[in-house]
Each structure stands twice: as structure tokens, then as C-alpha cells.
Structure 1
Amino acid sequence: MGLRLLSAALLFVGSALPYSGHDWLSERTGRRSWREQAGAPGCGIAPLADALKGSRIVGGTAAQIGAWPWVVSLQIQSGRILAHICGGSLVKNNWVLTAAHCTKDTRDPLMWRAVIGTNNINVHHPHSKKIKVKAIIIHPGFNLETFVNDIALFHLKKAVRYNEYIQPICLPFDIFQKLDQNTKCFISGWGRTEEEGNITDVLQEAEVHYISRKICGSEQSYGKFIPNTSFCAGAEDGIFDTCRGDSGGPLMCYFPEHKRFFVMGITSFGYGCGRKNFPGVYCGPSFYQKWLTDHLYRASSKSIFNINILLGQVLVASGSVVLLAIP
């Protein structure tokens, strides 16, 4: 039987709500520390780079290999050609966090590959991995016109083995309130280096900072077009920004009290690239704690189950539409 993809419209029971203080993960797993809530053990540490010293605090330059070991290139395969479409963040050894709008051209998991552990997507590195995608989970409330709930998960067919070049980043549960203009944050991706430029083969990096909703939501900026679960980050002059091809990639912020990086934002949208008063807009994973933990920690539980029907299987998850690759 050939490979088939079946999508289904479901009654959505999930929603995007700011964290209310209820410890969903502790309730389901018995774990309580921030380290366990943040995702994979040892998350948010780049073994090959001290991201806060020397040449790492730069803008718009090529990143060294291993600098951001959780940054993923999500690519679509057409014949023998793989084309970079979006970025993503490795949050567990078989889960990639990205933007829902990245799937607008195709939601077929069979078309996608995740490339992890390299800074040059056109050069094979002995420590890099190219992995097929098993399923794509899109937030049920995602709206392509407004970019509300612009969050998705890619479930990899195989779990990666961590090494110096491949590591998970921490999820920002319970710490979003600590994000301010003084927080060290970075963006990284293979997108265009200028608004009308080309996609770059070499991973780029830049330092940015959080921009308040008062500024980003002003009439001189985006006004009322910023979703409640999104926020802005960039530079005052607009020089350093994400651009097309960077979508889905992480806004990575360092919290010295934890000595780790957290994926505070998912690159969502912006008006042009690097324009003054129009910084990048990022979907905040911290607002989706329940939705994320439902999938990342309960993927084998009864909340996700298979239904056999004539065309194959449909994976049905609490509060989501899941697109599953079927052999």
C-alpha cells in the first residue's frame, strides 16, 4: 500500500491561555523542579560555545558550528532536492518546536526532513543528522490570516542522540514574566540576510532584546495586530531582525540564574525585514504550557490514540489536528 496522508477536522478542546499558576506537568508526572518542567534534562546548554562572551555577542554574522545546537532546519524534499523552508527548535530528542504557518504549503509529514547539528545546510557534517518526520501537530486555534496560535510540533521518526553539536533547548514554563529589555536574547536562522536577498546556507545569528507591548502595539508600529500570546523583539534601529526563511526558529534567551537558554519565542511574522518600528513578532511557548505538555509528556498515554479506518490511521490528540505519515 502506498503512503497516504489523511487530515481530519476535529472538535477542538484545547486552547491557548496564559499560564495560570497551575502546575500541569507536576500533576501528570509528579515532577516539580523548573529543570524538569523545562523539558529535556541538560537542556539549554551549548557545550562548544559560551554564548555570552567574546565574538558571540554579535549581530548578523555567521554562527560557528555547535554554537546553537538546538536550532533545526526544516526542509521539504522534492525528488532528490531538499529545500530549507523554516527553522525550528529541538526541545526533546524526537520533538521539534516550530511555527504553524510553516506548514501552509504542505502538511504532509512525508515531505519534510529535519536537519540538526550543522551550521551549513549544504555541507555534510559528521555529527549532523537528517531525520524524517513522523507527524505534524498544529495548534487547533491557528489562524493563518492573523497568526494567532502560530505554534506547531514536528514529531521525528527517530530520536536523535545528543552530542556536542545536538542538544535540546529549555522550554520557558514559569519564567516568561522574567523577560525584559535587559535579558540577553539571540535570534538565529538560515533566512534571508536582507529583505530582497536570498536564503543563506550558513546559519546567521544576532543579538536582540524584548520590546514592550506598549511600544510594539503603538500606532507607529503594529497597533492591535499583535496576538495576545505573541510579543516583539528586535533592535531599536531595526538593523537586526529575522526575515523570510527564519520563521519557526527560536528567540533564545539566557537566564544567568539558571545558566541556560530558553526558547522564549517562535519566529512568527513581521512587516518586511529589519524595518524601523516593525520588529519581529514571536509566538510565546510559555502561553501554551498545557498544550505542549499534553503532547511532549503524554504522547504514549490514552489522550492520543490511533483509529483504524479504510484509508489508514488518523492520530487524534486532545485539542489538536495531527497529520500522520502512514506506511
Structure 2
Amino acid sequence: MDKPSHPDSDPSWERKTLEKLAFSALSEQRAKRRWGIFFKLLGFVYVSFILFALVDWDAAKVADKHVALVQLRGVIAPQSEASAENLVASLNSAFEAPNSQAVILRINSPGGSPVQAGMVNDEIRRLRAKYPDKPLYAVVEDICASGGYYIAAAADQIYVDKASIIGSIGVLMDGFGFSGTMEKLGVERRLLTAGENKGFLDPFSPQVEGQTAHAKALLANIHAQFVQVVREGRGKRLKEDEQTFSGLMWTGEQSLALGLADALGSVDSVAREVVKNEELLDYTVKENLAERFAKRFGAGAMDSLWQGLSSRMAGFTLY
């Protein structure tokens, strides 16, 4: 009977063991290389996705003669999508483009800051004077109220849908009064100021007649500016009556009879039938991922700060 071999009796066992160790190390190295390639490929795909998202593909399109589109969406306010900074930059790009035949401003806005709206209105008037051969058409979809109409009034023509909401030519300043509630709760308000009107319209103090009158005078002044802008923009087309500047709103169909708008139309129909060019190119400034992240990252702290400020003083709003 043969005896089982012992490593000492097999001179090749060392070589076989080394071969096994070498093959094992080689297999492990290959596995690491495969995983390395996988993670590098994954990183490449991730970076490619980020770069793809950052590229403004609309602006990158090559077009001959086209209609420049700028979109006004949401509340008109600083550091918002519909801020004067974004809209002015978009409008400048649209007018300056050598191949843009006309500019269409698509509006879906309930209004907002009179300052921001006024800045955009002024810039539209400047651009129209600088580029007299490039008309600007405002096209209203769902709503063009207050600050939105403040901007639209600067256009060459205003197009609406028959069911659009138009108007609200007025100014408001809103807030709350808690003085009665605090008295019932037995809470004492201790407000110290240097300057007799520094606590202007403090929500935790009773209204002061002189301060209320001053606030109304401020509102009246801003409203007069709004009225002047509409009169200058619409000219003889405006069928003015006692309700025109009262803050009321009308449907798009009613706005035609009042001279607040010129005709029914959409972005596509205006491009096709008025400009005679269906090629649209969007020049609206868009936030990139970095800007979105920065805004989201700072949203918590800024929200706390804003809540403190807004509870202290109400703002003027074209709503």
C-alpha cells in the first residue's frame, strides 16, 4: 500500500504553493483593477451628468433668424426667478442677439415688488429705444396682475388669452395688529425707540393716526407712479374710467375692451402670425446647480432672518 505523500517527500510542493499564492495575488489585483475601473466610470458618468445639467442647451442652439423668448414666472422679488436682475439680463441677451427678429415676454405673475417691476419696465423702454426694429410683445397666459402688468405696460403690444386675469393696478401694504390680543393675555409691550416714528406701524402697538396717514401717502405716491407707467405705455389705446386704477382685475376678453390688452394670442401664434417666424429661442436666465445648492443651503438661516424682519415691518407690494 502506498503511503500518503508528505511535503518533505514531494520536492515540487514549494513551487506549487508559490504558484497558488502568485495566482491568488494576481486574481486579487485583477479584481481591484476591475473595481477601480468601475468606480472611475461611475465618477465619469456623475461628472458628465453635472456638466450636462449646467449647460444651457437652449442658448447653445444655433439658429438663423428667430424669435427671442423671455419668461416672467412667479412673484417679482429680489433673489427670485423673476427678479429684476434675471429679467434685465435675459432681455438684454434677447435684444442684443444679432439674429433675433423680435422678443416675446411670456408672463405668468401675480405681481410683487414695485421697485423690481419698475426696474424691468425702465429697461424695456431703454431697449426698445436702442433697438427700434425689434418689437417686444408681452404674451399673458394665466395671470398678469399688478407688478406683472407694470412690466407688460412697457411692451409694444400685449396679447392675452380670453380667460387670462389682467389688471390689479394698485398698491397694498399689509400686516397684522396684536395689541388687543396682548392685552387680553396680559403681555406688556416694551418698545424703546430713538425717534418718535421709529416704531412705524409696529404690529404689537396700537395704530398711530399720523403714522397711518403717512403710510397711506406712501401708497398713494407709488400708485401714482404705477398709473403714470400704464398711461405712458398704453397711450390712446387705454379706455380709462373710474375703475381702471382701482385695483380691480378683469378677464383677457374684458381687458381688450378696456384697452389694457391689444389682441388674443399665445406665444406660438404671435411668433407664427405676427413675427412670421416660428423659430423660438429661450433667452431666460436659468439657475445652474451650484446656484440652486447655494440658495437651498442658506435657506434656513435666511428664512429665520426674514421672518424676524417681516414681523417687524410690512412691505409695499404690487399684488
The TM-score normalised by the length of structure 2 is 0.22
Instruction: Flag the structure with higher strand content.
Output: 1
Instruction: Flag the structure with higher helix content.
Output: 2
The TM-score normalised by the length of structure 1 is 0.22
